[in-house]
C-alpha cells in the first residue's frame, strides 16, 4: 500500500491538498479563528442550530415587482450632501467603499444636476440634429432605436471629483471621489447619425443641449463625435433612470462628465465652439498665474483604495487591499500600492476584465503588523502616464482650480485599526 508521502500522482495530489489547506488556515489564522469558535456557541441562528429563516417559507416572488436589495444592505446608499437645494445645482455620490467588482448598480450611480431632474415623456421627446448638415433630422425615440445599437462598459466621472480645496474634508472614499461610476451603456453611435445627416466640410464642433431647466450645453469636438461617442438610452440593461438622462443622453467615453449631456434634445453642428456658460464661467481650470485652461476634456488616470478606506476598521493580520483605477486615455496597465506612505511601492494584481476607459479592480494581499501605517495607490495607463501626488500636481496647477484633481489619495491607519483621510 502506497504511503501518501511516497512519490507518485496520488501522493502529490494528497500532499498538495494538505499544503493548500494549511496555507489557507495560516492565512486566516489568528484574527479569524477565535471568531469561528465564538460562532459555534453564539445565538440561536448560528450553526449547529437551525435558523428561523429555514423554518417557514420566504416571501412570494410577486411581492416585489421591481427587485430590491436585502433590508440588511439598507445603508449601501448614495451619498447626498445635506442642506443643499437639490432642485438646483446638486449632486450625489456613489458609495465606492461598499461595492465590489467594477459595475455600479443603477440605483447607486452618481448624479450631477444643474437645474433639477426633468420628468420627460419619451413619446413627446424629440432629438434634433441640425446646423452644418445636408439633411437635418428630428428623431423620435422609436426612430432612434431603429438604428444599429451597441453596448460598452465605460466609467463616467465629474471633473470636480474632488475639488482641490475640499480634499481634506472627506471621510470616506465616496466623499473624496464618489462622483465617478462605471456601467454598461447601450445606444447608437453618434457617428451613425452624423453619417445619416451628412456633415458639411466646414463643421468642426457639435453643440449638445439638454432638456433640463438649465438647458445645459457643451461644445464637443467633431472628431470625438465621429469616434466613440454614443447616444445612450439604456444603462446596465434597463432604460436610463431619470437622474441619468432618460430618455436619451450623450456619452463621451473618457471625457469629463458634464459633457455627456443628459436629456439630450439638440445637436447643433457648427464651425466654432459655443463658449457656453458651462465652458466659460464653469469647467475651466484656474491657474496660479491668473490664466485658465479651457476645454480640458480628458479625465486623467486615477485610483483609490476602497478597502481599507476611511471610517472602516481593520484587524491585525491578513487584510486584502483593493480598489479601483481608471483613465480617460485608455486602459489601465498597472496599479502600484504603498503601505509605508510612499517610501516603497509594489505592483497590485489587476482583476479581469481590464477594459478601455472603464473601472479596473486591483488587489494586493497584505499582512498588517498592528503599527500605524499610511497606504496609497497610483494608477498607470497605457500612455505611460503615472498618477501624481497631490504635492506634484498642485506644484504645477496651484490651488485655485476646482477641476481635474487626480492626485493620489492616502489613507492613514491608526494602531487601533481605524482608517481615516490621510490628507488631514
**CATH number for position 311:** 2.60.40.650
Task: Please indicate, yes or no, whether residues 232 and 327 belong to a single structural domain of this protein.
Answer: no
Please give the pLDDT value at position 254: 98
Q: Among 245, 264, 292, identify where a domain stops.
A: 292
Segment 111-123 mean pLDDT: 94
User: Is 255 within the bounds of a domain?
Assistant: yes
Domain count, the chain: 2
Q: Where would I find the H helices in 198-317?
A: 222-225
Please give the pLDDT value at position 424: 81
Pick the range with the lowest mean pLDDT from 2-11, 145-154, 322-331, 377-386.
Answer: 2-11
User: Is 42 within the bounds of a domain?
Assistant: no
Task: Please indicate, yes or no, whether residues 220 and 98 belong to a single structural domain of this protein.
Answer: yes
My answer on whether omega of the bond before 162 falls inside 30° of 0, hence cis, is yes
Q: Among 292, 317, 338, identify where a domain stops.
A: 292
Task: Please indicate, yes or no, whether residues 273 and 344 belong to a single structural domain of this protein.
Answer: no
Considering only residues 114 and 269, tell me which one the structure prediction assigns the higher pLDDT.
269
- Are 294 and 310 in contact, with CB atoms under 8 Å apart? no
Domain that holds residue 356: 302-421
User: Is 417 within the bounds of a domain?
Assistant: yes
User: Is 336 within the bounds of a domain?
Assistant: yes
User: Is 46 within the bounds of a domain?
Assistant: no
User: Is 74 within the bounds of a domain?
Assistant: no
pLDDT at 301 over 70: yes
Task: Please indicate, yes or no, whether residues 344 and 236 belong to a single structural domain of this protein.
Answer: no
Task: Please indicate, yes or no, whether residues 287 and 307 belong to a single structural domain of this protein.
Answer: no
Please give the pLDDT value at position 42: 59
Task: Please indicate, yes or no, whether residues 170 and 260 belong to a single structural domain of this protein.
Answer: yes
The β-bridge relationship of strands 127-131 and 264-270 is parallel
CA-derived radius of gyration, the chain: 25
Task: Please indicate, yes or no, whether residues 273 and 192 belong to a single structural domain of this protein.
Answer: yes
Per-residue pLDDT reduced to its tens digit, 244-272: 999 999 999 999 999 999 999 999 999 99
Task: Please indicate, yes or no, whether residues 113 and 237 belong to a single structural domain of this protein.
Answer: yes
pLDDT at 26 over 80: no
Residues in contact with 34: Cβ distance below 8 Å, sequence separation at least 6, in sequence order: none
Beta bridge mates, 99? none
pLDDT at 383 over 60: yes
Per-residue pLDDT reduced to its tens digit, 100-111: 999 999 999 999
Residues in contact with 62: Cβ distance below 8 Å, sequence separation at least 6, in sequence order: none
Beta bridge mates, 361? 324
Binning pLDDT at 50, 70 and 90, where does residue 45 land?
Answer: confident
Q: Residue 259 has what DSSP assignment?
A: G
Number of neighbouring beta carbons within 10 Å of residue 237: 10
pLDDT at 6 over 70: no
User: Is 43 within the bounds of a domain?
Assistant: no
Task: Please indicate, yes or no, whether residues 276 and 365 belong to a single structural domain of this protein.
Answer: no
Beta bridge mates, 421? 411
Q: Which residues of 100-139 are buried (b: 16+ CB within 10 A; e: fewer)?
A: eebbbebebbbbbbbbebbebeeeebebebebbbeeebeb
User: Is 341 within the bounds of a domain?
Assistant: yes
Task: Please indicate, yes or no, whether residues 255 and 378 belong to a single structural domain of this protein.
Answer: no
Q: Among 273, 292, 311, identify where a domain stops.
A: 292
Task: Please indicate, yes or no, whether residues 326 and 395 belong to a single structural domain of this protein.
Answer: yes
**CATH number for position 111:** 3.90.420.10
Considering only residues 125 and 81, tell me which one the structure prediction assigns the higher pLDDT.
125
Task: Please indicate, yes or no, whether residues 212 and 150 belong to a single structural domain of this protein.
Answer: yes
Tell me which residue has cell 448614495: 78
Cα-based angle 171, 177, 182 (whole degrees, multiple of 5): 135
Binning pLDDT at 50, 70 and 90, where does residue 273 land?
Answer: very high
Binning pLDDT at 50, 70 and 90, where does residue 87 land?
Answer: low
- Phi, psi dihedral angles at 401 (to 5 degrees): -85, 155
pLDDT at 85 over 70: no
Pick the range with the lowest mean pLDDT from 34-38, 137-141, 273-277.
Answer: 34-38
Amino acid at each position: 500500500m502506497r504511503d501518501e508521502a511516497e512519490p507518485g500522482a496520488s501522493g502529490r495530489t494528497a500532499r498538495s491538498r494538505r499544503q493548500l489547506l494549511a496555507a489557507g488556515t495560516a492565512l486566516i489564522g489568528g484574527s479569524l479563528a477565535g471568531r469561528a469558535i465564538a460562532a459555534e456557541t453564539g445565538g440561536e441562528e448560528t450553526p449547529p442550530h437551525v435558523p428561523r429563516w429555514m423554518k417557514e417559507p420566504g416571501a412570494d416572488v410577486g411581492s416585489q415587482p421591481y427587485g430590491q436589495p436585502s433590508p440588511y444592505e439598507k445603508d449601501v446608499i448614495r451619498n447626498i450632501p445635506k442642506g443643499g437645494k437639490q432642485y438646483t445645482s446638486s449632486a450625489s455620490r456613489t458609495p465606492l467603499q461598499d461595492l465590489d467588482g467594477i459595475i455600479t448598480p443603477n440605483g447607486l450611480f452618481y448624479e450631477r444636476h444643474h437645474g433639477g431632474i426633468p420628468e420627460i415623456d419619451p413619446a413627446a421627446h424629440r432629438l434634433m440634429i441640425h446646423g452644418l448638415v445636408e439633411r437635418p433630422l428630428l428623431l423620435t425615440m422609436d426612430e432612434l432605436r431603429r438604428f444599429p445599437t451597441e453596448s460598452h462598459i465605460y466609467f463616467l466621472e465629474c471633473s470636480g471629483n474632488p475639488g482641490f480645496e475640499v480634499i481634506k474634508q472627506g471621510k470616506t472614499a465616496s466623499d473624496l471621489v464618489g462622483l465617478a461610476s462605471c456601467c454598461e451603456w447601450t445606444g447608437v453611435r453618434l457617428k451613425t447619425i452624423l453619417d445619416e445627416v451628412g456633415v458639411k466640410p466646414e463643421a468642426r464642433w457639435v453643440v449638445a443641449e439638454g432638456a433640463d431647466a438649465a438647458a445645459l450645453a457643451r461644445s464637443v469636438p467633431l472628431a470625438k463625435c465621429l469616434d466613440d461617442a454614443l447616444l445612450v438610452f439604456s444603462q446596465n440593461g434597463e432604460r436610463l433612470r431619470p437622474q441619468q438622462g432618460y430618455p436619451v443622453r450623450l456619452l463621451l467615453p473618457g471625457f469629463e462628465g458634464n459633457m455627456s449631456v443628459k436629456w439630450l434634445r439638440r445637436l447643433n453642428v457648427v464651425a466654432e465652439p459655443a463658449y457656453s456658460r458651462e465652458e466659460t464661467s464653469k469647467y475651466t481650470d484656474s491657474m496660479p498665474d491668473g490664466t485658465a485652461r479651457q476645454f480640458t476634456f480628458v479625465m486623467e488616470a486615477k485610483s483609490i483604495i476602497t478597502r481599507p478606506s476611511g471610517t472602516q476598521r481593520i484587524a491585525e493580520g491578513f487584510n486584502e487591499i483593493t480598489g479601483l483605477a481608471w483613465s480617460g486615455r485608455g486602459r489601465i496597465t498597472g496599479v502600484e500600492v504603498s503601505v509605508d506612505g510612499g517610501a516603497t511601492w509594489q505592483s497590485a494584481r489587476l482583476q479581469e476584465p481590464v477594459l478601455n476607459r472603464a473601472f479596473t479592480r486591483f488587489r494586493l494581499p497584505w499582512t498588517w503588523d498592528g503599527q500605524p501605517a499610511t497606504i496609497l495607490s497610483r494608477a498607470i495607463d497605457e500612455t505611460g502616464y503615472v498618477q501624481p501626488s497631490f504635492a506634484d500636481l498642485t506644484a504645477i496647477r496651484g490651488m485655485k482650480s476646482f477641476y481635474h484633481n487626480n492626485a493620489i489619495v492616502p489613507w492613514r491607519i491608526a494602531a487601533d485599526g481605524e482608517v481615516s483621510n490621510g490628507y488631514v
